[in-house]
């Protein structure tokens, strides 16, 4: 349930013009890099939460990369439907940020699990 809540809140944030303007002011010369960095971090949180909800898997990193990549693509479709003018290149870049973040979330989750077990 927590994973769905995390995903829902971040989906709303990713499709909100208000959140976009507050977190990505165009007057910052590095606003695109900033946006991609926190995008990967947010997708890592989704991947971490999904991994915890779905449980162990031999292919957990791949599973999260695919699931979060699809989630990211759904955000891109919604943003386009809401009138975003980013273009296909940025949509692909953002979806790849989702793939990377999802995989990163699982890597972090596994390291936390190992450290708790003392391995």
Give CB contacts under 8 A, 24+ apart, made by 110-119: 110/60
Which domain covers residue 70, as residue numbers?
51-119
Which of 24-28, 56-60, 94-98 reaches the highest mean pLDDT?
A: 94-98
Query: Average pLDDT of the chain?
Result: 91
Asked whether residue 103 is assigned to any structural domain, the reply reads yes
Q: How confident is the model at residue 119 (pLDDT cuts 50, 70, 90)?
A: low
Per-residue pLDDT tens digits for 37-75:
999 999 999 999 999 999 889 999 999 999 999 999 999
Does residue 118 register a pLDDT over 80?
Answer: no
Asked whether residue 25 is assigned to any structural domain, the reply reads no
Asked whether residue 58 is assigned to any structural domain, the reply reads yes
Least Cα distance to 2 among 64, 45, 56 occurs for 45
Asked whether residue 15 is assigned to any structural domain, the reply reads no
Asked whether residue 22 is assigned to any structural domain, the reply reads no
Gap between the Cα atoms of 48 and 17, Å rounded: 26
Gap between the Cα atoms of 38 and 41, Å rounded: 5
Does residue 79 register a pLDDT over 70?
Answer: yes
Residue-level pLDDT at 64: 96
Count up the domains in the chain and report the number: 1
Average pLDDT over residues 104-119: 88
**Higher local confidence (pLDDT), 39 or 24:** 39
């Amino acid at each position: 349930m927590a994973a769905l809540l995390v995903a829902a809140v971040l989906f709303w944030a990713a499709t909100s013009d208000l959140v976009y303007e507050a977190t990505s002011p165009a007057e910052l010369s590095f606003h695109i890099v900033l946006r991609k960095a926190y995008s990967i971090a947010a997708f890592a949180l989704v991947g971490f939460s999904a991994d915890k909800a779905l449980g162990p898997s031999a292919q957990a990193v791949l599973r999260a990369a695919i699931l979060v990549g699809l989630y990211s693509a759904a955000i891109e479709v919604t943003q386009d439907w809401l009138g975003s003018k980013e273009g296909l290149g940025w949509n692909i870049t953002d979806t790849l940020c989702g793939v990377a973040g999802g995989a990163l979330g699982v890597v972090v989750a596994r390291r936390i699990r190992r450290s708790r077990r003392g391995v």
